[in-house]
A = this chain, B = another copy of it.
Amino acid sequence: MQVHDTIDSFRKALDAERAGGRTVGLVPTMGYLHEGHLSLLRRAVADCDVAAATIFVNPLQFGAGEDLATYPSDLEGDSRLAAGAGVAHLFTPATSEMYPGEVLTTVTVAGASEGLEGGARPTHFAGVATVVAKLFNIAGPCRAYFGEKDWQQLQVVRRLVTDLSFPVEVVACPTVREPDGLALSSRNVYLSTGQRRAAPVLYRALLAGRAAAGAGAEATAVEAAMTEVVSAEPLADLDYAAVRDDRLLIAVRFGPTRLIDNLAMEE
């Protein structure tokens, strides 16, 4: 596996792969890789001639008071995991490489960015869309793999690609869960033992929402069913439980840690 610190090196390496007739799979991440990321990497390795991953904790997508400074990181472990998954090119730029000066250009995606995460984190998806546009421009034509765990982000990226005609095929990959249903997230490490024990409440609430929907409940009653499950968990503080486009979406706080999850309304 080649590790690239510079835009130029990563771009040239992928250009050379394509010039050799090989298709490129791209997995953009913020690092601290877990089995969810690894499922994306393995899928890219399986689908494409060469797989590339990026590890960049993008400051643009963190709001004031969010966890940019404490976001977990383990570049050495990540490199080992990526190499083990069969990644050929790993891009690990410093912030100064990605953003050498002030970033004056912003990409916004109306519609998909609004409400839910966009409501709780007003500048988040502009930060995501901007860095994804930049990573796509650096990586060039590819298949790009995103987890369904960040459902709204997936919709933002899909719309970005369609509206701006990026030469990228977006591939969505299912959420990977712990045996107790907790969706894998780099932020799970923030949880105390008690919070960790309570955290599967997100998935239980989603399942309750799905059951209510299956029994014919309207959206507001489905949302109420999810809310009720979270209310019964003392350590959990509900941010939202919502139905959008036949998807159930939920965000819950455990102290300072905020987790999200989602599920198709119908099995």
Residues on A lying within 8 angstroms of B by beta carbon are 7, 11, 15, 19, 102-112, 129-130, 133-134, 137-138, 140-141, 159-160, 163-167
| Residues on B with beta carbons closer than 8 Å to the beta carbon of A165 | 7, 11, 134, 137-138
The answer for the CA separation of A113 and B110 in the assembled complex, in Å, is 20
Q: Please determine whether B166 and A137 come into contact, CB atoms closer than 8 angstroms.
A: yes
Which residue of the partner chain B has the closest CB to A103? B163
Interfacial chain B residues near A134, Cβ < 8 Å: 163-165
Question: Given A7-B165, A133-B133, 4 more contacts at CB 8 Å?
Answer: A11-B165, A104-B110, A104-B112, A140-B167
Copies in the complex: 2
The reply to whether A105 and B130 form a contact with Cβ atoms under 8 Å apart is: no
| Cβ contact within 8 Å between B167 and A105 | no
Pair A137/B105 contact, Cβ less than 8 Å:
no
Interface centre among A111, A129, A163 (most CB of B within 10 A): A163
| Closest residue of B by beta carbon distance from A109 | B105
- Most B-side CB within 10 Å, residue of A107, A141, A159: A107
Known A-B contacts A138-B165, A165-B137; the reply to A107 vs B104 at CB < 8 A is no
